Homo-oligomer: A and B are copies of this chain.
Amino acid sequence: MREKVLVAAELFAEFGLDATKMEDVAAATGVPKATLYYYFEGKEDILAFLFVHVLDQLGRAVGGALRTGGTAAERLRAVVCAHLGVIESFPAASRALQFDLGRAARSPMIAARTEAAFVEPVGALLVEGARDGSLRPVAHPRLVATAILGAVTTTGLNALTPAAKRPLERVADDLATFVLSGVAA
């Protein structure tokens, strides 16, 4: 069921939640409407499920990047690349997340998972970087982590826009350098 529903991400990404009818989801996934309501509380619940899925991947990717060796600065670069990698792996769900960002932000559960998956660990990494001398100390690590999150998602998703579709690898370098310089020692 989980895998089937992932297809709905493309609808949500293209049209947004409101413009997507439950029947469309049923048609696209092959799961009948009544069954969708059997498994999910409603449309929002399906969206939330997709978001959680993406955020889980993001959390895993960030965790992996943090566990690579090297200085905090090197690992931060790895985090940025991993983040872009997640966006690339789940373009539809990522764009859906951006599309209904506001809705996601209102959900305490989603907000908490964003914190846990990104802001928390990256904030800690900034602190660590100040200690190991590879990054400059910042007054509010979580604030800067949020700024990094915003920079990466906005840029990454912009690059996915049908209008300006450009390979994320090319984006990665400029973006990572920007972020790195922003907190470099």
Instruction: Let me know if A147 and B18 touch, CB within 8 A.
Output: no
Check if A101 sits within 8 Å of B101, measured CB to CB.
Answer: yes
Q: Which of A86-113 contact B (CB under 8 A)?
A: 95, 98-103, 105-106, 111
* Chain A interface mostly: helix
Copies of this chain held together in the complex:
2
A116: min CB distance to chain B, Å: 15
Per-position contact with B for A6-19: 1 when CB-CB < 8 Å, else 0? 00000000001110
Residues of A in contact, count (CB < 8 Å): 45
A163 partner residues in chain B, CB cutoff 8 A: 111
Bound-complex Cα distance A148 to B106 (A): 24
A139 CA / B172 CA spacing, docked (Å): 12
Query: Bound state CA distance, A184 and B181, in angstroms?
Result: 8
User: Among the listed stretches A21-29, A55-63, A66-74, A150-158, which one makes contact with chain B, having 4 or more residues with CB under 8 Å of it?
Assistant: A150-158
Name A's B-contacting residues (CB within 8 A): 16-18, 95, 98-103, 105-106, 111, 136, 138-140, 143-144, 146-155, 158-159, 161, 163, 170-171, 173-175, 177-179, 181-184
